[in-house]
Amino acid sequence: MADTPNSRRNLWRAVIRQAMEDATRFGQGDSDYAREVRRDRETARAWLTKPSADFNEVCELADFEPDQVRKEAVALIAEADARVAAGLRVRPRKTKPKSEVQRYEFQGERLTIPEWSKRTGICAPTLRGRLNTGWPLELALTKPAVVGAFGQPHAHREAKRITFEGKSLSVREWAEATGINAKTLHARLEARWPVSRALTAPARSRPRETVPA
């Protein structure tokens, strides 16, 4: 199969569909298979119903709205539990989330939040948070990224950008690029680590001195 935007989107949609099917399976008895089904069910339910960055990212890659997918999952789980409580047999349904991602029109373009994030340089959670708290679309898409929870209006400072190997990114963006936790990067930079070492040293290595040589 060719690696195209549609094929990648469909792959992530399949991940969500499988999680919804796992969330409505009920293993009977005490066999190894039944225990595995129950473990998968609890894992899927936790992933679908509890807010997490991983869940949001998968939904964005699938072009789905995370909140709507979660609502659909909660409804499916409640329906399955009700059938079990009534003594009825539950068969996992081949689910297909209907929650196509919302598009926002501005200056003649109609894009999703992830697409606007790439266009503006403002991270997707910040954009989503701004819109969910009532920011006008123009302000949400044009106000520079700020330090604060999801771009709340009271925070007016631009996020500090760190330049390394020709790239100038915020600490959060460097965390995504390097796989090092943002708090770890903040701590390293506050302790005056050289930028090159702060961004490349494995997260598990902790020097004994506050300021590395």
Domain range list for the chain: 5-85, 109-151, 161-200
Q: What is the pLDDT of residue 99?
A: 56
CA-CA distance, 192 to 201, in Å (whole number)?
A: 14
Query: Of 193 and 204, which is predicted with more confidence?
Result: 193
Residue-level pLDDT at 60: 79
* Range of weakest confidence among 53-62, 157-166, 172-181: 157-166
pLDDT at 83 exceeding the cut of 80: yes
pLDDT over 80 (residue 27): no
pLDDT at 95: 56
User: Is 8's pLDDT higher than 70?
Assistant: yes
AA identity, residue 117: S
Amino acid identity of residue 168, one-letter, is S
Model-level pTM? 0.49
20 in Cβ contact with 76 (< 8 Å): yes
* Mean pLDDT confidence for 154-163: 57
* pLDDT, position 45: 92
Mean pLDDT of 158-179: 79
Q: What percent of the chain has pLDDT over 90?
A: 5
Q: What average pLDDT does this structure show over 178-190? A: 83
Average pLDDT, the chain: 78
**Radius of gyration of the chain, Cα coordinates, nearest whole angstrom:** 22
Helix ranges (H only) for the chain are 5-23, 32-49, 53-61, 66-85, 113-120, 124-132, 137-142, 171-178, 182-190, 195-200
- 98 or 176, greater pLDDT: 176
Contact by Cβ (8 Å): 13, 97: yes
Which pLDDT value is given to residue 74? 92
Mean pLDDT of 80-92: 79
Per-residue confidence (pLDDT) for residue 63, from 0 to 100: 79
Average pLDDT over every residue of 31-45 = 88
Is 189 in contact with 162 (CB distance < 8 Å)?
A: yes
Q: What is the mean pLDDT of residues 76-82?
A: 90
